[in-house]
Amino acid sequence: MTILDGKKVSALVSKRVAQRVKVLQERGISPALAVILVGDDSASQVYVRNKILACKAAGLRSEQVILSANSTQDEVLAVIDNLAARQDIHGILCQLPLPRRINEEAILNAIPPEKDADCFHPVNVGRMSLGTARVLPCTPAGIITLLKEEGVEIAGKNCAVIGRSNIVGKPMAMLLLQENATVTICHSRTRDLPAVTRQADILVSAVGIAKFVTVDMVKDGAVVVDVGMNRDENGKLCGDVVFNAVAPKCSRITPVPGGVGPMTIATLMENTLALAEKRLNI
């Protein structure tokens, strides 16, 4: 079994971004990402902090806009409109989840597609499905990069994705399909889930439940990608997969932390850069 090292590969991606940032800076452009955080969800605060730190490492400018949990939807929309109008901001993202009173769809629709660093705008989701997108959703695209950089072949493989969220499950399936895999999307209503996942050469779990993926669900020699960010009974960060039991059965597996998480952030850097390059028609 080999570990799919997201920390190592994300550092490589970040270095490549930093090189391309230099090219833009020579042309007078300093690519910048604006991150909006609404409320005081502690996990979101950590994610946003890591995104800002990653910008620094990749040579990107960043701005944070932190709004209180009782901000109105109109206040968030006003912040987005302001960032959308600014020439010196190339990418915008609004950290999810939002407080319940705020309509997520209205917020994601308000970020202009040409500044949509997450690829969550319906126009960009459509382009992704057509295979014509300039940016791709960070977590699924980061997983594809990790698999490719680590030499995992995707074409022709049986892939199973557990979870059908708009952020991970659905776009993950779409990107694997674009890599010519045969893809099955599994979810809470899937009948005999272990029978389905045992067919998978590549198994991606994006469920958000600790210890969800057990050894009986995994094919011998499978590549297992764990998108989960959960806490175990001791409050320790863990994924969806029972790592110690499953790992010996795999050919490759992502750890949590140090697997998918850093790749998500590295892809956000790539997306921000790509949006800045697009404006210069590079």
Contact residues: ligand GUN, CB under 6 A: 93-96, 118, 138-139, 167, 264
Active site residue 219: no
The helix (run of H) or strand (run of E) holding residue 75 is: helix 73-85
Closer CB to ligand GUN, 185 or 260, in the complex: 260
Please answer whether residues 78 and 138 qualify as being in contact, where contact means their C-beta atoms are separated by less than 8 angstroms. Answer: no
Q: In the numeric block, which tokens belong to residue 133?
A: 């997108």
Q: How far is the CB of 223 from ligand GUN (least distance, A)?
A: 22
| HEC profile of 78-94 | HHHHHHHHCCCCCEEEE
Catalytic, 51? Answer yes
Phi and psi at residue 222, in whole multiples of 5°? -70, 160
Nearest approach, Cβ of residue 65 and ligand GUN (Å): 13
Tokens of 117: 């660093």
Q: Closest separation between CB of residue 172 and ligand GUN, Å?
A: 12
* Virtual torsion, Cα 258, 260, 263, 268, nearest 10 deg: -130
Q: How far apart are the C-alpha atoms of 21 and 272, rounded to whole Å?
A: 10
**What does DSSP say about strands 237-238 and 230-231: parallel, antiparallel, or unpaired?**
antiparallel
Catalytic residue among 5, 95, 219, 226: 95
Helix (H) or strand (E) holding 73: helix 73-85
Catalytic pick from 51, 115, 157, 170? 51
Closer residue to ligand GUN in complex, CB, 45/199: 45
CB of 252 to ligand GUN, least distance (A): 23
Q: Quick one: tokens of 95?
A: 């950290």
Least distance (Å) between residue 272 CB and ligand GUN:
13
Q: Determine whether 95 is an active site residue.
A: yes
Cα separation, 149 vs 145, whole angstroms: 6
Catalytic residue among 5, 115, 116, 118: 118
Q: Considering beta carbons, is residue 92 or 250 the nearer one to ligand GUN?
A: 92
Q: For ligand GUN, give the closer residue by CB, 50 or 251.
A: 50
Residue with Cβ nearer ligand GUN (45 or 190): 45
**Which residues are designated catalytic?**
51, 95, 118
